[in-house]
Amino acid sequence: MDREEGKAAPAQRPPNLGAILANLGPGCHWCAVTEFLGQVPLLQCLPGSSLRRIAEAVQVKRYEPGDYVAREGEPVDGLYIILDGQAEVSASANAEEANRPDYVLNKYDYFGYGTNSSDHQVNVVALSKLTCFILPNQYGYLLQPKTIWNAEETPEHSLLEKILHLEPLEVDIFRGFTLPEGPMFRQVFGGQLIGQALAAASKTVDCLKMVHSLHAIFLVAGDNNMPIIYQVHRARDGSSFATRKVEAKQKGLVIFTLIASFQKEEVGFEHQAAIMPDVPPPEQLLNLEEIRERRLTDPRFPTQYRNLAAKKKFTPWPIEMRFCEDSASQHKPSLNYWFRARGKLSDDQALHRCVVAYASDLLYSGVSLNPHREKGLKTYSLSLDHSIWFHKPVKADDWLLYVIESPSAHGGRGFVTGRMFNRQGELIMSLTQEALIRREKTRGPNPRPKL
């Protein structure tokens, strides 16, 4: 058919999608539709709940070679995503931009989204037999969620969910912030970099693949007062695994890198040799706020100490922690404590893994300093690298036991290992970290900035 004389193909909606979905592979169902849509970069930064609703709302249309899929200046039905075949994008022959080169759309490419009106700006013509998923215009709101974790406006968001929210700037580029209502340190908290970088990586893979390992290196101390740009590099996309590298930047300088591997859930061999320590349940232990309040009123502490502590600004951490040992154990190269996210988290497994990644850096490297603590000693520590292996699904707003040990410290570096168990005694994660640990030097009035 001559392209200029052809007519736009009428909508074709088959009564069932079995034959069309055969293009996706064997054993297809709505889960496979979700997985396919999860390969589309535009949709990967959406909450998993939004993607599943889109999978239920999409329609299927088929076109013959030469059929117009969309005409310049005419309305389009919604967001088109190519399932199979090829289409060509071109301007009309009498358009001012007629010399603009044509280009070809392939599987996973999309069009019809992001225009200021319902009229399409270019011609889209099928080059071969073409099959498209179409998200009708009335479902366009699903493409504009409130956050990357939740499609709805929920006032009960956990502070951690807000800390781990990133602003998508374009495909594979995100912007994160250090929130003033969160805990503040001299530099950007290492757990924040890990959690936000993992969030960025997670929003570039399909929602059926979950992170199973990550390896991070801290390069330069970050500035709390500046946004952080996360650039994701797609190292590999396979049927079962995907790999991402993330660079965190401030002022154009890379301050942190992370490599994460993601896997689609599968059934395999299982065993667990690690045994959860016998510790009191969290309900029998005090949290940090209760410990602080007790110290402020305990007459065994000097009055001057209590007065200074009372005047010092106290910002509750977004993680609730309950220590299993008393202060008499603080010189041991080990630490056990229960923790959970404060508030209710959205039901997104990727978010829960980002939360525990954030929490994993709290008090972690400090355990390697425990055997060396003495009265009046001031120390300086900075995370150097950090690795996590996720063994099983995690629920970060339920209690988890963090078991930390430091087998070695040498050459100004402290090494720590960690394990996280749920209340059922299942080993959820294994971790390692090396950190710079030094006696603190006397600082001048204006320390030189790192950036």
Q: What local confidence, expressed as pLDDT, does residue 10 receive?
A: 45
Report whether 189 contacts 183 (CB < 8 A).
yes
Q: What is the pLDDT of residue 289?
A: 75
Q: Does 274 have pLDDT greater than 60? A: yes
Query: What pLDDT was estimated at residue 76?
Result: 86
Q: At what angle do helices 288-297 and 303-311 cross, to 10 degrees?
A: 140
| pLDDT of res. 216 | 98
What confidence tens digit (pLDDT) does each residue in 396-410 have? 999 999 999 999 988
pLDDT at 294 over 80: no
- Answer whether residue 433 shows pLDDT above 90: yes
Name the catalytic one among 90, 121, 383, 406. 383
Return all residues near 188 (Cβ < 8 A) that are at least 6 apart.
178, 221, 222, 223, 224, 228, 255
Of residues 155 and 70, the one with the higher pLDDT is: 70
Of the residues 67, 172, 361, 397, only one is catalytic, namely: 361
Taking the C-alpha atoms of residue 58 and residue 40, their distance in angstroms, rounded to an integer, is 14
- The residue-averaged pLDDT of 51-72 equals 92
- Per-residue pLDDT tens for 297-313? 666 667 666 666 666 66
Residue 215 has pLDDT above 90, yes or no: yes
CA–CA gap between residue 365 and residue 122 (Å, rounded): 57
Task: Tell me the pLDDT of the chain averaged across its residues.
Answer: 84
Select from 364, 323, 321, 340 the least CA-distant residue to 190: 364
- Average pLDDT (135-145) is 91
Pick the more confident residue, 421 or 154: 421
Q: CA distances (Å), 290 to each of 183, 319, 322, 330, in order?
A: 18, 14, 10, 18
383 flagged as catalytic: yes
Residue with tokens 């232990």: 285
CA angle centred on 175, ends 321 and 207, rounded to 5°: 75
pLDDT band at 158 (very low <50, low <70, confident <90, very high): confident
- pLDDT at site 34: 87
Catalytic residue among 44, 365, 406, 433: 433
Helix axes 349-359, 190-202, angle to 10 degrees: 160
Q: Can you give the chain as a three-state secondary structure string?
A: CCCCCCCECCCCCCCCCHHHHHHHCCCCCHHHHHHHHCCCHHHHCCCHHHHHHHHHHCEEEEECCCCEEECCCCECCEEEEEEECCEEEECCCCCCCCCCCCEEECCCCEECCCCCCCECCCEEEECCCEEEEEEEHHHHHHHCCCCCCCCCCCCCECHHHHHCCCEEEECCEEEECCCCCCCCCCCCCHHHHHHHHHHHHHCCCCCCEEEEEEEEEECCCCCCCCCEEEEEEEEEECCCEEEEEEEEEECCEEEEEEEEEEEECCCCCCCCCCCCCCCCCHHHCCEHHHHHHHHHHCCCCCHHHHHHHHHCCCCCCCEEEEECCCHHHCCCCEEEEEEEECCECCCCHHHHHHHHHHHCCCCCHHHHHHHHCCCCCCEEEEEEEEEEEECCCCCCCCCEEEEEEEEEEECCEEEEEEEEEECCCCEEEEEEEEEEEEECCCCCCCCCCCC
Q: What is the pLDDT of residue 314?
A: 66
pLDDT at 313: 65
Q: Is 361 a catalytic residue?
A: yes
Q: Residue 404's pLDDT is what?
A: 94
Residue-wise pLDDT for 344-370, tens only, equals 899 999 999 999 999 999 888 888 878
pLDDT at residue number 310 = 63
pLDDT digits (tens, 9 = 90+) for 185-204: 889 999 999 999 999 999 99
Q: What pLDDT score does 27 carry?
A: 44
Q: What is the pLDDT of residues 99-122, one digit of tens each?
A: 555 789 999 999 887 544 556 678
pLDDT band at 430 (very low <50, low <70, confident <90, very high): very high
